[in-house]
Amino acid sequence: MNMHPKLKVFSSLLFICFFLSYNPLWAQSDPTGERRVTGTYAIKNATITTAPGKTVSGATILIKNGLIEAVGTNVRIPNEAQVIDGDSLFIYPGFIDGASSAGVTKPTDPERPSNFDPSNPPDENAGITPWRNVLDHFDFKNNQISDWRKSGFTIAQVIPDGGMLPGKAAIVVLGGNSSTNILAQNTSLGAKFRGVGGGRGSYPGTQLGIMAKFRDLYKNAEYSAQHQRLFASNSGLNRPEVNKTLEAFYPVIDKRIPIMFEVSNDLEIRRALSLQKENGFRLVLVGVTEADMVVNEIKAANAQVLMSMKLPDDKITKAKMDDLSDEIKARTKRAQDAYENNLKQAGILEKAEIPFGFTSVGGKSSDLMKNLKMMVENGLSENGALAALTINPANILGISKFAGTIEKGKLANMVIFTGPMLSEDAQVRHVVADGYIFDYEIKTKKAANGNGNGENGTANIAGDWEYTSDTPAGSSGGIMTIKKEGESYKGTITYANPAGSGTATSEMNNISISGNYLTFTFDVAAGGMSLEVTVSGDINDNQFSGNMSLADFGSYPLNATKKPNQSTR
């Protein structure tokens, strides 16, 4: 069996074992969710937010066989129910990811035929595979899923990876690892302003080429569907040609499913809206970041919106302006203004009365609450933030009849915090998905008392850290060396050489420490490719617990210890 090149690389990278497992603000006591509520279960005297703006104190929620049986202040608890005291718990509807790539792998690129014509390539070579089902390339056991579930997500619409038309999405509940988690298949058709590998010199290799190709496919699909209907009801007509690319458009033409267009800026939003106006399909804009430029156009088109959870890096806000030239100062100021404007996008959509959800594509689960708080500080209401995680994506995905709020008869999907969701010290205590309970122990935050902490309670990360990590390939380790330079940090990390001999070293990039929370990235060269690795985790008493994640391959545990006499380096 031939292994995909990236999988070959990752097989080698497993021996690097730098994957730093995320040991978040809470550690797991039952992260597998093996316990499913098959009988009757009650959480009493909790503060329950059944929907944005609707909160009941001292309430009880009754769950039976994975469904919500009752919720309120006068719920009768049957004798057979298992009871949890919820005096200090805050319960919210389970979060819904409007578009997710967690657990999804990219299909192997097809080989070019010997008679390959770059001006008219076969559909698969052009990134046109609308017939694909994302579930054929989805793994419920992928660690990325457990990472997002730790943050409170209980349902996700998973979208396929690929080129211009990568395939159809599906909606899954993040409960047990079985096919019963599939809520709906072929729920939307994915689309991007991107071909395979940027086009590789073949058509359609540009955004304008993609638009032209899309128009051509859509019109031909309309003609094909019309021919199919006429053939079925009339005699004397030629039998329609079977074309799986065109047939994949039929449910879009009939408006049974929308097209989910991934967009990265206001120009791409305008182009997607233009295609919708020409052809009349239902449209969901995915990954929106520059909505302020096209708010009126989005409203006029009645397009639905999934905002990116990802926010830009805030390093530009910390730039020292004193010694810069006037030109560089002007550029820096424009970048700072753009950063500030990005934080306001969610509030702008809410003010414009455009209901929106979130997509996790490109984001990190560990950044969810931090980014939500930043959006709220910049104009988004707290009810708007909760709506974007619950009821709005439920409406966009068409699943509001069984998800999005806490009501009798809906799926037992909820996230349970130790405090109000956006409060400073709130931590996830339980996540219930499809009646499966995932428990997380609460981690007590330590005040700065000289135990490896610097000024203002920020962990002192400068020094040499010896780490070990565990992956399916075994256990190994290396050294992280971090130095402070002014207000920033630089560092290197060593790991087992993927080439098979000795160790290799990589620069640590984007090093950031917030309180005791450390994040950074680094690149690994292996198999002729450069892969970016993201590291995040907590530091306490010169001990690091975190995770390292690589797109498509999940996260793996790593623990590190700072070497002695390094605290003031």
pLDDT tens-digit map of 465-522: 998 876 656 677 889 999 988 888 999 999 887 766 778 899 999 888 877 778 888 8
Q: Within 10 A of 208 (CB to CB), how many other CB atoms are there? A: 11
Read off φ and ψ for residue 197, nearest 5 degrees: 55, 35
Q: What is the pLDDT of residue 39?
A: 67
Beta strands across the sheet bearing 170-173: 95-100, 153-158, 170-173, 182-184
Give the CA distances from residue 389 to residues 53, 111, 368, 416, 475, in Å, rounded to whole numbers and listed in that order. 13, 40, 11, 14, 37
Q: What is the pLDDT of residue 111?
A: 87
Q: Output the six-digit token pair for 258.
A: 């929308």
Q: What is the DSSP string of 433-455?
A: ETTEEEEEEEPPPPPPSSSSB-G
- d(CA 302, CA 284) in angstroms, rounded, equals 9
- d(CA 392, CA 373) in angstroms, rounded, equals 18
The DSSP call for residue 169 is -
**pLDDT mean values, one per 10 residues, the chain (569 residues):** 43 40 33 56 94 96 92 92 88 97 89 87 92 93 88 96 95 77 94 69 86 96 90 78 93 97 95 97 96 94 95 72 74 80 94 96 90 95 97 97 96 95 92 88 57 60 86 74 88 82 86 81 76 79 77 65 65
Q: What is the pLDDT of residue 180?
A: 63
Q: What is the pLDDT of residue 468?
A: 82
User: Could you read off the pLDDT of 32-85 as tens digits, one per residue?
Assistant: 555 554 568 899 999 999 999 999 999 999 999 889 999 999 999 998 888 888
* Contact criterion met (CB below 8 Å) for 281 and 259: yes
Q: What is the pLDDT of residue 326?
A: 75
Could you give the domains of the chain?
5-23+448-562 (2.40.128.120), 27-94+415-442 (2.30.40.10), 95-314+356-398 (3.20.20.140)
Question: How long, in residues, is the chain?
Answer: 569
Write down the pTM of the prediction.
Answer: 0.74
